[in-house]
Amino acid sequence: MSVEKQIWVWADYRNYFQSRVTLQILARASVLAEKTNATVCAVVFGDQVDAYVKEYIAHGAQKVYVTDDPFLKTYNVASYAFLLTALVRRFAPETLLIGATRFGQEIAPRVAKQLETGLTADCIDLDIDENGQLVQKAPSFGGNLVAKIITPDTRPQMATIRPGTFQELPHDDEAKGEVIPVPLPDTMPSPRVRCLKSELHPARARKIETADIVITGGRGMGSKGKFRKLFDLADLLHAEVGATRPVVYADWVSSEALVGQAGKHIRPKVLFSFGVSGAIQHTAALADARFIVAVNKNPNATMMKLADVAMVADANQVCSGIIRALKQRIRD
Amino acid sequence: MLHIIVCIKQVPMVSELPWDAKTGTLKRETAQGMMDPSARRALEAALQIKAGMGKNQASITAVSMGPPMAEEILYEAKALGADQGVLLTDPRMAGADTCMTAFILGKFITDHCPDAGLILCGAMSSDSETAQVGPQLAEELDIPAIGYARRLELVHDCIRVERHVDDFMELMEMDLPGLVTIDHADESDLYTPRYVPLGGVEAAFNAGDIRIMDGTALGLNKDFNALTSSPTKIIDVYSPVTRKENRVLTGAVKKMVDTLFDDYGKIISSAMGKDLKTHDHEGDV
Ligand SMILES: Cc1cc2nc3c(=O)[nH]c(=O)nc-3n(C[C@H](O)[C@H](O)[C@H](O)COP(=O)(O)OP(=O)(O)OC[C@H]3O[C@@H](n4cnc5c(N)ncnc54)[C@H](O)[C@@H]3O)c2cc1C
């Protein structure tokens, strides 16, 4: 009998978005598992985590490895990395997937280093090739290309995935899964980093992620002053304003507005995009936008090709034009 | 005496960087390579810690692994106030992935800076944003580490770190030696990098002495080659754009905007939850 192949998803659950990304990755892992005849497993660390275990089973985990111990009550990256490494050595999964939350981005490279295996950060897609290997697709070379990456010789194949990249499966109460308790090893080192305080400060309403209309502005808006005009338009449209990285770096708008792999994923019914070139790190977060209006001086900009309506024009003039038109057309 | 090591990286000046926030224009004169913005913040943190200590109580070594031209950012680091600048450069280091980079930086620190007390890195570099080198360097050195710091404070032999991760405000503490990565997206202005003093780079340049070490000087194995040591392999690169069947509008702005509302007004108004006149031609209303 051949050894069971396993795809592991490390369960991050400390806040709402971490919980979601875990479920999203479980959904994708289920697809990958089907292609390779593998088992989808979640790995959960913490103190009294029963509720999470149930949740993961309902979302596609066929097995759940659980280390439930008061020692793990505080999220401690070194302890968690030690434990995850130990479990991987013991159970030898083919693949280990981790959400690219900040905590995930800290634990993943540590585990990869200890296991001397590869790690691809911020995958925008995952697939299986004809040899059953994990194909990790990630932005490369500045942002116009996607690289397909494999881990040919070492295991597990590791990747991190940004929240919002995949869609979670519906909750299935009927789903069955096996729970495998793993006690805390005796060799667990005592933490060298002491946590003196840890308080949840949920970010201000992340409205942009759920807004029906989003207006994104890029460097083509020209200046901080001109960028402000997008907010006037947003008021009329009941929209939220997002931005590209250069705009955030230039401090035209706060980093809360960043849309892209390093920022927010959006799923509006209508997206207005002004003066944005359409680099992959930005467009990876727009896949679920239903109707896109792009304005760019350059008709060949990637963003124009992704749009339903592509307006070849100056972004500021169109912004003003739409404001004027809306003032005449809105019926109160 | 606290020996602070700051790991800095030269990144390509991605078309977007840097901007003059005041004029909103691109600073084109700043050549092709620049110091990674988050590494710059790490250097700033080191300079502030040093300034807060007594005279000769701290010394800062800026180290970079990179191609020969990365020497520029080390001169810049010295102009900003670093005491030593070291460039680790060798064709055999080219193509190093994050694990190999951590290995090489780790080898330098272990063998050549045994007195290192605090190691600072940028949380993530602007050209790749993997955030992997810091944590992997901590593994390599087997020292405690805290990521995404917004504020550091030395308390006796410990360092206290404030950070904001995944909606948690945290205060952590660890003994030295330890490694801290400095957050790149901090709204507080604490570690906003200072400007290079006028003529500073030139002065640093004239003072010479960036230490350059190749693989042999660093004590790497004869057959060491970073590129072939990477466990991952790129098998293909593609352009992700799939062109939509779209409508391209050109011409006068007013006409384009009218077409937008006349033909697609329903989609927009239903997303807005408001009624829009879709036809706005004279005499229509
Ligand atoms: C590791 C990494 C992570 C990244 N993460 C993100 C991310 O999360 N989000 C993100 O947005 N970016 C991210 N980036 C940056 C990304 O690669 C692009 O550089 C960025 O999205 C480009 O922003 P932009 O479109 O505003 O600027 P540009 O690429 O400079 O494009 C400006 C556009 O405006 C047009 N234009 C100029 N003038 C006018 C005018 N008057 N009227 C109309 N159009 C005009 C131009 O034709 C051009 O298409 C990341 C990059 C890296 C390397």
pLDDT of residue B141: 98
Structure tokens at A207: 């409205």
Measured N-to-C along each axis, helices B133-141 and A102-115 cross at an angle, to the nearest 10 degrees, of 40
Q: Exposed e or buried b for every residue in B207-239, given b needs 16+ CB within 10 A?
A: eeebeebebeebebeeebbbeeebbbeeeeeee
B231 contacts chain A (CB < 8 A)? yes
With pLDDT > 90 as the criterion, what percentage of chain B qualifies?
A: 64
Distance of CA A284 to the CA centre of its chain: 10
CATH superfamily of B2-229: HUPs (3.40.50.620)
* Nearest of B84, B66, B37 to residue B75 by alpha carbon: B84
pLDDT of residue B34: 87
Structure tokens at B99: 């694990």
**Closest Cα to atom 31 of ligand 1:** A277
Structure tokens at B72: 């520029």
State the distance from the centre of ligand 1 to the C-alpha of A145, rounded, in angstroms. 14
Structural domains of chain A, ranges and CATH numbers in brackets = 6-181 (3.40.50.620), 208-331 (3.40.50.1220)
Res A78 pLDDT > 80: yes
Q: What is the 3-state secondary structure (H, E, C) of chain A?
A: CCCCCEEEEECCCCCHHHHHHHHHHHHHHHHHHHHHCCEEEEEEEECCCHHHHHHHHHCCCCEEEEEECHHHCCCCHHHHHHHHHHHHHHHCCCEEEEECCHHHHHHHHHHHHHHCCCEEEEECEEEECCCCCEEEEEEEHHHCEEEEEECCCCCCEEEEECCCCCCCCCCCCCCCCEEEECCCCCCCCCCCEEEEEEEECCCCCCHHHCCCEEEEECHHHCCHHHHHHHHHHHHHHCCEEEECHHHHHCCCCCHHHEECCCCECCCCCEEEEECCCCCHHHHCCCCCCCEEEEEECCCCCHHHHHCCEEEECCHHHHHHHHHHHHHHHEEC
State the distance from the centre of ligand 1 to the C-alpha of A219, rounded, in angstroms. 6
State the distance from the centre of ligand 1 to the C-alpha of A128, rounded, in angstroms. 31
Amino acid sitting at position B99: C
Cβ < 6 Å from ligand 1: which residues? A 142-143, 218-220, 222, 244-247, 258-263, 275-277, 279, 281-282, 295-298, 301, 314-315; B 14-16, 127-129
CB atoms within 10 A of CB A165: 22
Q: Where in chain B is the domain with CATH 3.40.50.620?
A: 2-229
From start to end of B218-257, where are the E strands?
Answer: 233-238, 247-249
Out of A238, A250, A308, closest to residue B247 by CB:
A308
Structure tokens at A262: 């390093």
B280 contacts chain A (CB < 8 A)? yes
- Tell me the pLDDT tens digit for each residue of A282-320: 998 998 899 999 999 999 999 999 999 999 999 999 999
With pLDDT > 90 as the criterion, what percentage of chain A qualifies?
A: 83
Sheet holding B158-165, edge to edge: A193-200, B168-175, B158-165, B145-155, B178-182, B116-122, B2-7, B58-65, B84-88, B211-213
ipTM here: 0.88
Q: Which of A18, A117, A193 should be substituted to probe chain B, the one whose Cβ sees the most B Cβ atoms within 10 Å?
A: A193
CB within 8 Å: B140 and A113: yes
- Tell me the pLDDT tens digit for each residue of B35-45: 998 999 999 99
Chain A residue closest to B177 (CA)? A192
pLDDT of residue B29: 46
Q: Reply yes or no: is the peptide bond before residue B177 cis, omega within 30 of 0.
A: yes
Measured N-to-C along each axis, helices A102-115 and B98-112 cross at an angle, to the nearest 10 degrees, of 70
pLDDT of residue B196: 83
Res A17 pLDDT > 80: no
- Tell me the pLDDT tens digit for each residue of B7-21: 999 987 754 444 444
CB within 8 Å: A109 and B130: yes
**Closest Cα to atom 6 of ligand 1:** A281
B183 contacts chain A (CB < 8 A)? no
Contacts with B127 from chain A: Cβ below 8 Å: 142
State the distance from the centre of ligand 1 to the C-alpha of A215, rounded, in angstroms. 14
Tell me how far apart the alpha carbons of residues A147 and A12 are, in angstroms, rounded to a whole number. Answer: 26
Residue B169: CB partners within 8 Å, gap ≥ 6?
A197, A198, A199, A201, B162, B163
B155 contacts chain A (CB < 8 A)? no
How confident is the model over A89-94, as a mean pLDDT?
A: 98
pLDDT of residue B24: 36
Out of B14, B17, B238, closest to residue A145 by CB:
B238
